[in-house]
């Protein structure tokens, strides 16, 4: 397999409730930004990561739609779905297509348009990432499922709601420096604890929002990168993916994300790196408790101690290992299918030194972790400044 590089990345100008833009507008914009950033004059293949355009905007066949709107017919285009990991898995597919030698220049984009339906309908669509017949039928919601994880983690390890609040505060602090962020403003720990309770013990400010947005990246073989692009190439050191049970109740240990742990082990091995070698991490903080458990599963903190990471400053911008410098899903927003690709965008920019006030000094190795549902799927990439 060939070495692969990311040579272009792009987002929309802003993520949030973008009333004037449709799903096709959002994807096209981000994709054009990535293509311009790469400076390529053609692509060989493209991917569209999207959880459920069908339930949100009643549109399927996104491969045809987006290749058409991007003016790329007859290039092959593939829709990828893995709930909230759709973007990350799409990126992995794009990576594999280049690594295998099947294509040279591949565009990977992720998109979700979530505000064309009511809040209730959006919540229902999102719940399709869980077990519809044996979890959702009973009345559990997504915040509810993560609340079950939080309660179990708190019971076993003594994690507190205040510790969770610090994670949201840290992510908002980073997001306040990100012009694209949906909620780019700072919040306080007490503000989190005072915000309305969604599912005990998770407050509304523990939860990522409903967002419209897209993100895109352009991949090519590493040895073509300098020829094609003026930007410093970012090498994909590792790409790993794993699954776990669809239902939370099927797992022996409900305080753990096995798919993250398995994918992480594979990724570290493939990259020849250890957790302490990472300089920056973008992980899937759909809820504050998710960041707690993911950090443990990535081996960045001892099992059970994930709650201490934001409170101690370990994961702050100037800390031992900056996590979610983009603002994370919490502050930046979570257009489901776009998130995984947006994580690649953030880490790529960090490794190129383009992150301005959010720059992690001397960042050379970064990791992205994107997961679907309550961890039913997970995809991890490790990138290195080439």
Partner 1 sequence: MANPAKYWREIPQRYRLEAGKCQSCGEIYIPPRLVCSKCKSRKFEKIKLSDHGKVLTYTVIRTGPSQFADQTPYAVGVVELDGGGRITSQIVDCEFDQLAIGQRVRVEFRRIQKHGQAGILCYGYKCVPA
CB of 327 to partner 1, least distance (A): 23
Helix (H) / strand (E) element for 383: namely strand 377-385
Question: Does residue 137 touch partner 1 according to CB under 8 A?
Answer: yes
Q: Closest Cα partner for 200 from 153, 249, 147?
A: 147
C-beta closer to partner 1: residue 251 or 305: 251
- By CB under 8 A, the residues from 99 to 128 that bind partner 1 are 120, 123-124, 127
* Separation of alpha carbons 84 and 106, rounded Å: 22
44: exposed, middle or buried (Cβ count in 10 Å: 0-12, 13-18, 19+): middle
C-beta closer to partner 1: residue 31 or 140: 140
C-beta closer to partner 1: residue 20 or 253: 253
Contact residue for partner 1 among 10, 110, 143, 306 (CB under 8 A): 143
Question: Does residue 254 touch partner 1 according to CB under 8 A?
Answer: yes
Question: Does residue 147 touch partner 1 according to CB under 8 A?
Answer: yes
Q: Which of 50, 84, 207, 286 is labelled catalytic?
A: 84
CB of 173 to partner 1, least distance (A): 26
CB of 122 to partner 1, least distance (A): 11
Question: Does residue 247 touch partner 1 according to CB under 8 A?
Answer: yes
Question: Does residue 200 touch partner 1 according to CB under 8 A?
Answer: yes
Question: Does residue 155 touch partner 1 according to CB under 8 A?
Answer: yes
Contact residue for partner 1 among 41, 71, 196, 318 (CB under 8 A): 196
**101: phi > 0 → left, psi -120 to 50 → alpha, else beta; which?**
left
Q: With contact defined as beta carbons under 8 Å apart, do 369 and 378 qualify? A: yes
* Separation of alpha carbons 63 and 48, rounded Å: 6
CB of 153 to partner 1, least distance (A): 9
Query: DSSP string of 23-65?
Result: HHHHHHHHHHHHHHHHT-S--SEEEEE-S-HHHHHS---HHHH
Question: Does residue 152 touch partner 1 according to CB under 8 A?
Answer: yes
Q: Which of 284, 334, 378, 381 is labelled catalytic?
A: 334
Contacts 24+ apart (CB under 8 A), 310-313: 310/163, 310/166, 310/167, 310/169, 310/170, 311/162, 311/163, 311/166
Question: Does residue 192 touch partner 1 according to CB under 8 A?
Answer: no
C-beta closer to partner 1: residue 47 or 287: 287
C-beta closer to partner 1: residue 139 or 318: 139
Contact residue for partner 1 among 59, 141, 160, 176 (CB under 8 A): 141
Residue 281: φ, ψ to 5°: -135, 135
Question: Does residue 139 touch partner 1 according to CB under 8 A?
Answer: yes
CB of 95 to partner 1, least distance (A): 28
Catalytic-residue membership of 136: no
> Total number of residues binding partner 1 (CB under 8 A)?
36
Catalytic-residue membership of 50: no
CB of 329 to partner 1, least distance (A): 18
* Separation of alpha carbons 186 and 176, rounded Å: 6
Tokens of 368: 């992205």
226-239 core/surface letters (b: 16 or more CB in 10 A; e: else):
eebbebbbbbbbbb
β strands within 271-376, DSSP E: 280-282, 365-372
**For binding to partner 1 (CB under 8 A), which residues are involved?**
120, 123-124, 127, 131, 133-135, 137-141, 143-144, 147-152, 155, 196-202, 204, 245, 247-250, 254
Question: Could you list the active site residues?
Answer: 84, 334
């Amino acid at each position: 397999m060939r070495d692969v590089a990311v040579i272009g990345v792009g987002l929309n100008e802003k993520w949030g409730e973008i009333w004037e833009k449709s799903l096709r507008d959002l994807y096209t914009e981000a994709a054009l930004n990535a293509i311009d950033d790469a400076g390529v004059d053609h692509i060989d293949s493209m991917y569209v990561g999207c959880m459920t355009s069908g339930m949100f905007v009643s549109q399927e066949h996104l491969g045809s739609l987006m290749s058409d709107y991007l003016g790329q017919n007859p290039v092959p285009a593939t829709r990828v779905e893995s709930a909230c990991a759709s973007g990350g898995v799409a990126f992995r597919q794009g990576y594999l297509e280049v690594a295998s030698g099947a294509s040279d220049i591949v565009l990977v984009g992720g998109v979700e348009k979530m505000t064309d339906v009511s809040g209730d309908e959006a919540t229902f669509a999102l719940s399709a990432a869980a077990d519809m017949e044996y979890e959702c039928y009973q009345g559990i919601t997504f915040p509810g499922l993560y609340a079950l994880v939080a309660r179990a983690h708190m019971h076993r390890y003594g994690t507190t709601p205040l510790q969770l609040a610090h994670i949201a505060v840290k992510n908002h602090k980073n997001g306040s420096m990100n012009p694209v962020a949906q909620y780019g403003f700072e919040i306080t720990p007490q503000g989190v604890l005072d915000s309305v309770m969604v599912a005990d013990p998770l407050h509304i400010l523990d939860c990522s929002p409903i967002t419209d947005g897209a993100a895109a990246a352009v991949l090519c073989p590493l040895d073509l990168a300098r020829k094609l692009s003026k930007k410093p190439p970012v090498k994909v050191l590792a790409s790993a993916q794993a699954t776990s049970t669809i239902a939370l109740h099927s797992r022996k240990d409900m305080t753990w994300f096995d798919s993250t742990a398995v994918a992480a082990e594979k990724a570290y091995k493939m990259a020849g790196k250890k957790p302490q070698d990472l300089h920056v991490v973008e992980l899937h903080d759909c809820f504050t408790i998710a960041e707690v458990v993911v950090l443990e599963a990535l081996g960045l903190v001892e099992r059970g101690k994930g709650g201490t990471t934001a409170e101690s400053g370990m994961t702050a911008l100037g800390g031992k290992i900056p996590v979610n410098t983009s603002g994370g899903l919490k502050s930046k927003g979570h257009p489901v299918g776009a998130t995984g690709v947006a994580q690649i965008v953030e880490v790529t920019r960090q490794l190129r030194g383009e992150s301005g006030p959010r720059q992690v000094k001397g960042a050379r190795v970064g990791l992205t972790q994107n997961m679907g549902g309550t961890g039913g799927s997970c995809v991890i990439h490790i990138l290195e400044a080439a």
